[in-house]
Each structure stands twice: as structure tokens, then as C-alpha cells.
Amino acid sequence: PIESIKEIRVGKNTEVLRSREFSSAYTEECAFSILYGEEFESLDLVASTPEETNIWVTGLNALVGAGKSNFIP
């Protein structure tokens, strides 16, 4: 669920995205990660263009922000 998202990071900011196997296949501006859960697991993604990355990150941040503002303990 959206509530489990802890952070959204742009760039090669996880071990997987920095690995030699993947790092040379795409630019820094096209990579982003969704950190989620209690263990801060990551879902690492690569968009086709920096503009597409921006659209995804903006939308995800809006969803995460909306989910937190509706949270009732």
C-alpha cells in the first residue's frame, strides 16, 4: 500500500542501481527508487527520459503526501 512508502529517491542511490551490472546501462537522471516497508526495501526503476522520471517522482510524491495527510492513528 501507499502508506508503506518511506521515501522516493532520484538517481543511482541504491546498491542495485550502483552495481556494475546496471550502472552503465542508463543515466543518473533516469533512475529512481521507491523505499518501502519497515526494512526499507527498494523498488528500483529506470525511466526512458529524465522528463519521464520527473513525472513519476512528482506523481508518487503527491500520492505519498495525500496518503499521509489522510492517515488517522
Output Rg (C-alpha) for the chain, integer angstroms.
Answer: 13
pLDDT at site 50? 97
Per-residue pLDDT of the chain (73 residues; tens, 9 = 90+): 889 999 999 999 999 999 888 778 889 999 999 999 999 999 999 999 999 999 999 999 999 987 665 555 5
pLDDT at site 67? 62
CATH number, domain with residue 24: 2.30.29.30
pTM for the whole thing? 0.83
Residue 28 belongs to domain spanning: 2-69
- The sign one gets for the Cα dihedral 20, 25, 27, 29 is negative
Whole-number Å distance between alpha carbons of 52 and 30: 8
pLDDT at site 32? 97
Q: Which amino acid is at 40?
A: F
Split into its structural domains, the chain has a count of 1
